[in-house]
Amino acid sequence: MKRLITSLILLNISLCQAADLFHILYPFEKGANDGDNQESIAPLIRDNPLYAATRNGGHNETGLLFRLNSDEKHFRVFLRFADSASLPGATNGTEPYDTLTVHQNAPYGLTRSGGNDGDLLFRYDLDSP
């Protein structure tokens, strides 16, 4: 089913508003400042930001880590993934996938490449500048 959708549209379903259940929060448009093929998302907690990663988008189409605030208006890219093969000097992996986990204000996740033998486990400190 994931393969049928080429662009991500985040969904917010509000069970309190039976007449208006479907909300488009952010339409992705690809490119260096946007993502494509969303594959990982942290569980949503009411009134907290939504953290997620896209498999593509960013520099060299290697993925993004982003936040969408609960006000549904503020989208912020924290990290553009790039491995040393696609961007010399960068070693933070490419193509994040699977579910993100947020623990102590830091999202954790996996990338498909970037480690010595393939996958890479990452943690991003949201308190860093």
pLDDT (average), residues 110-123: 77
pLDDT (average), residues 94-120: 79
Residue 129 resides in a domain? no
State residue 94's pLDDT score.
Answer: 78
State residue 15's pLDDT score.
Answer: 43
- Strands in the chain per DSSP E: 9-13, 22-27, 35-41, 50-57, 64-68, 75-80, 94-103, 106-115, 118-123
Torsion over CA: 70, 74, 97, 22 (sign): positive
The mean of the pLDDT values for the chain is: 67
pLDDT at residue 98 is higher than 60: yes
Residue 127 CA to residue 11 CA, distance in Å, equals: 27
**Nearest alpha-carbon partner for 61 in 11, 96, 91, 27:** 96
Two structure tokens written together for 111: 């990338």
Cβ atoms of residues 53 and 63 within 8 Å: yes
Q: What is the pLDDT of residues 34-76, one digit of tens each?
A: 665 556 556 555 567 778 888 877 767 788 888 887 676 677 8
Residue 68 CA to residue 118 CA, distance in Å, equals: 29
User: Residue length, the chain?
Assistant: 129
> Strand pairing partners for 105?
none
Residue 43 resides in a domain? yes
Range of the domain at 57: 2-123
Residue 76 resides in a domain? yes
User: Domain total for the chain?
Assistant: 1
Residue 41 resides in a domain? yes
Between the ranges 29-38, 54-63, 79-88, where is the mean pLDDT highest? 54-63
Residue 91 resides in a domain? yes
> Strand pairing partners for 14?
none
State residue 3's pLDDT score.
Answer: 35
Query: What's the pTM?
Result: 0.62
Residue 128 resides in a domain? no
Q: What is the pLDDT of residues 11-24, one digit of tens each?
A: 344 443 444 656 66
Residue 40 resides in a domain? yes
